Amino acid sequence: MDLKESIRQQASAAGFSDVGFADAATNPDNRANLVEYLRRGHHGDMGWMAEHVDRRVAPQGIWPEARSVIVLTMTYGSADGAHVEQAARGAISVYARGRDYHDLVKKRLKRVARWLVDAYGCQVKVFVDTAPVMEKPLGQRAGLGWQGKHTNLVSRRTGSWFFLGEIFTTLEIPPDRPESDHCGSCRACQDACPTDALRNPYEMDARRCISYLTIEHKGAIEPDLAANMGNRIYGCDDCLAACPWNKFATPATEGAFLPRAELIGPRLADLAALDDAAFRDVFSGSPVKRTGRDRFVRNVLIAIGNSGEPALKSAAADLLEDGSDLVRQAAAQAVSRLES
């Protein structure tokens, strides 16, 4: 059995859906694309994207000794589907309805990495979305998929409902053939975006993206964008759900990624009433926790304002004197929208 096949078997046993291999050298296109993206300001508040560009554009910028990158995917798709518009209930992105993926995926990566060290005496480093790794371009170079018009990685075998993780290694592993683009003339993801964040194919303006606005953006959300957020209170799956390639996706089998019942269409009134301690308790072990209570309640209040439900006015009015400026402003806007 050759090296790559051995790694694939170990990865499969650890719960990964697919595996690909890329070299660790610099790809000039990565630098050019990132620099242009930053120049346009499409990264919004995410200042960390502009830091350490040289490290970000190549695996060897992070770890000069790296020779190969093993890119792995783990499916998180849900049989419950993506966004459902319910006036009095919030919509949480599919990936965030279960446990936080970072710890679980890293634990499984370490399992494969330890085997690699024991079997081949190499050095390794593992990454899961917490270091300056351009993982989607790496995934395409490793043959796992291509960056679609929504900029997410799409696989002909497993769709796009999956997490990515990487093992950098000093081993010289023959790279796989990069995947080519298979979007064709389809623009389903662009048409599905509620806030027109995909005005041009293959270009995501994060400043208009609901996932960015509800998770990364720290301030108030512009009224014209807020009005199109509907009941989405953490993330957005619309561009993924619209992609025809997801007919090949399969629901997650990993128990940690299965949705918690209380996070499928939670009541907006209940969420608006959360103080900091209650927020931390409800979302313990969940990706949602990273936003903090104030930003999350801001999102909930926007959904309340969009609901058209007069019965929710009192839930917003109760927060008009909240200790957070951000929450007070969102509460006032919600009350105003419901009154009008």
Could you read off the pLDDT of 210-268 as tens digits, one per residue?
Answer: 999 999 999 999 999 999 999 999 999 999 999 999 988 888 888 899 889 889 999 99
Domain C-terminal end among 138, 169, 200: 169
Per the CB < 8 A criterion, the answer to whether 186 and 150 are in contact is no
pTM of the predicted model as reported, rounded to 2 decimal places: 0.93
Q: Is residue 52's pLDDT more than 70?
A: yes
Please check whether residues 142 and 193 belong to one and the same domain: no
Q: Within a domain: residue 152? A: yes
Q: How far apart are CA 37 and CA 46, in angstroms?
A: 12
Q: Which among 54, 100, 118, 129 is annotated as catalytic?
A: 129
Question: What is the layout of strands, in order, in the sheet containing 68-75?
Answer: 18-23, 68-75, 162-169, 124-127
The parent domain of residue 60 ranges over 3-79+97-169
Please check whether residues 201 and 115 belong to one and the same domain: no
Q: Is residue 106's pLDDT more than 90?
A: yes
Please check whether residues 129 and 194 belong to one and the same domain: no
The DSSP letter of residue 176 is P
Please check whether residues 21 and 113 belong to one and the same domain: yes
Please check whether residues 23 and 134 belong to one and the same domain: yes
> What are the pLDDT digits (tens) for 193-203?
999 999 999 99
Please check whether residues 296 and 161 belong to one and the same domain: no
Please check whether residues 192 and 165 belong to one and the same domain: no
- 129 assigned to active site: yes
Please check whether residues 39 and 116 belong to one and the same domain: yes
Please check whether residues 160 and 200 belong to one and the same domain: no
- Cα atoms found within 13 Å of the Cα of residue 66, Cβ hemisphere only: 25
Please check whether residues 68 and 125 belong to one and the same domain: yes
Please check whether residues 220 and 267 belong to one and the same domain: yes
Q: Within a domain: residue 33? A: yes
Among 25-29, 60-64, 231-235, which stretch is predicted with the lowest mean pLDDT?
Answer: 25-29
